[in-house]
Structure 1
């Protein structure tokens, strides 16, 4: 069911792997969170942007990335430091990270579907999707949580109930059995099919309408960049689930390579789907200028207050 130092006898490799992953997660968490804060602040402060369904899905997507990287720091840090955490705590942290990780791909699928509806059904899609966007998000998150809870109940029945409260130095993961891997592969393949079909239909409609002619290089480049970014998400994930946790130096090296590719995609996801958005680009520079003006005003206010307090002290001394 799980992968630990007892059945592989290479705890040093596990600790090294966790240390590398925790370090990479710290970097990706810092980059993703900083961009997420900026984009979320811009969207939340503008009424027109808050009504844009694409940007609502984008904010949820970026929050999933930040949460995934933050939980990765916690989980891999527990393994790297050999914190002797209870097995139940390890499973809860890993389960939360797995859920928000699937949320990354779910929101990508929702963004692709929304783009398809905007292009192919421009008259009906805005009102239809706008009314149902929060119900769609609620339904998707409910599906993810129920799926993972069900798998945890299936694979978590092997150990005795008392053993889940015992300490586990290397925090062995769960959901490594064949049923969880098959369901995980099917779930990811379904999301990948939705994304690819949506982009194929978008390309067909754009080509019919003349948007993907030779002169419009930017439209074709955008589709290619999105497909490349999605492949950096999906290919490492599918390979990782398909191979499972296996012993040996080769599998550890392959695991780190796949993880590095996936982490690279997490860093650039906010840039590809966020800062390449025209509406956000138009609001970004005024927002940054406004923030600088506010910081300058607060700095001047502090200087005035300090000078007044110094003057009052001088008058009192005189």
Structure 2
């Protein structure tokens, strides 16, 4: 039997990346339409930092998967875009990926301030600062790609080698954001235990923490895994074809997880679900039913009881504080 050609294998891997990013883009476009439209239309949602940051996260993921799909598509069809167009695509791709991480960091800091400094948070928080935070994160996210691509090198093929530039800069950004997020949630856990709202009987609080941790993991882990694979390949401990196979598997799996995680996180917000059911009644019921079926299949031991609203003290971690002055 003739061994497969390396170019054919590379084309297959590229096709997997293209289709994975395209499917994720379509899913994100659908949920951006219904969730972000609801957030923008409802005044009580667009004035809450929690929902505005969800808006930024979903929009950043939409841009990322859209540009990622276009980037892999032009590689798959072997197009030759102009160097300026290639730089623009790579810049937007790295910027949107960095902005997702910065938005997650902003969400962690927002919860940290709301839980650990509730009076100052409620007194000093205004409705427009989360929108300005989104603009700030986009500006900060553009620093790395603009710095790397402003050298004006000679035109090169627009491939994945362009994305591997500045791996050290990216790991520094990821490490700093990870440290800030870890510190924020450690302080949230400490404060919640001190107040007595995070105990064995408060399963909702534990599920919220677990959901936040899972959401952060699906965005942070692939960066560390890819960096580890690159180090192993450079040291000669991992073959190039094995590294390519592992890379495409990591990309496909975590792309699906990154696509689903912010949607599940947003649909868990009861205030958002109420407005979604009013704007899209039949659709939201079907999506909620699908999520409940998934939970029952993955956690068969959980009782099938309807979800009730918890008190404010029990939902300290996930509940927005009232916007009242002190």
**SS of residue matched to 1:214:** coil
Relative to structure 2, which stretch is displaced further, 227-236 or 243-252?
243-252
* Mapped pair 1:221 → 2:213: no
In terms of Rg, which structure is larger? 1
Question: Which residue of structure 1 lines up, in the alignment, with residue 164 of structure 2?
Answer: 176
Gaps of 5+ in 1: 1-8, 293-318
In 2, distance between residues paired with 1:272 and 1:119?
A: 22
1:133 to 115, 130, 135: 130
Question: Which of 46, 53, 56 in structure 2 is aligned with 1:50?
Answer: 46
Q: Structure 1 residue 88 and structure 2 residue 84: aligned? A: yes
Change (3 A) 1:91 1:222: same
Report the Cα offset of residue 234 of structure 1.
0.7
Q: Give the secondary-structure state (helix, strand or coil) at the position aligned to 2:198.
A: coil
Change (3 A) 1:244 1:93: farther
2:217 equivalent among 231, 245, 262: 231
Query: Do the aligned residues in 1 keep the contact of 2:215 with 2:258 (CA within 8 Å)?
Result: no
1:172-211 residue pairs with structure 2 within 5 A? Answer: 172-177=160-165, 180-211=166-197
**1:136 Cα deviation (Å)?**
2.8
Q: 270-279 vs 187-196, which deviates more?
A: 270-279
Q: 2-side partners of 1:271 and 1:134: how far apart?
A: 20
**Residue pairs, 1:266-281, within 5 angstroms:** 266-281=258-273
Q: Summarize the Cα distance change of 1:135–1:267 in structure 2 as closer, same or farther, 3 Å threshold.
A: closer
Instruction: Say which structure is richer in helix.
Output: 1
Residues 232 and 265, structure 1, Cα contact 8 Å, conserved in 2: yes
Question: Matches of 1:242 and 1:262 in 2, distance apart?
Answer: 16
Moved more, 187-196 or 132-141: 132-141
Residue 315 of structure 2 is matched in structure 1 by none
User: Normalising to structure 1: TM-score of the pair?
Assistant: 0.79
Distance in 1 between residues matched to 2:49 and 2:160, nearest whole Å: 39
> 1:83-122 residue pairs with structure 2 within 5 A?
83-122=79-118
Give a deviation string over 1:136-168, Cα, whole Å, max 9, x none.
3333222221222012224x53x3xxx36xxx4
Structure 2 residue aligned with 1:298: none
Match of 1:243 in 2: 229
- 1:20-40 per-position Cα deviation (integer Å, ceiling 9, x unaligned): 111111211111121111111
Aligned pair 1:27/2:23, yes or no?
yes
Question: Once the 2 structures are TM-superposed, how far is the Cα of residue 10 of structure 1 from its aligned partner?
Answer: 4.3
How many residues are paired up?
273
Partner of 2:278: 286
Cα distance in 2, alignment partners of residues 19 and 40 from structure 1: 30
- Partner of 1:244: helix, strand, or coil? helix
Distance 1:29 1:222 in 2: 26
How far is 1:199 from its partner?
1.0
What is residue 308 of structure 1 aligned with on the other side?
none
Contact 1:94 1:173 in 2 (8 A): no
Deviates more, 1:256-265 or 1:198-207: 256-265
For structure 2, the 5+ residue unaligned runs are: 234-238, 285-326
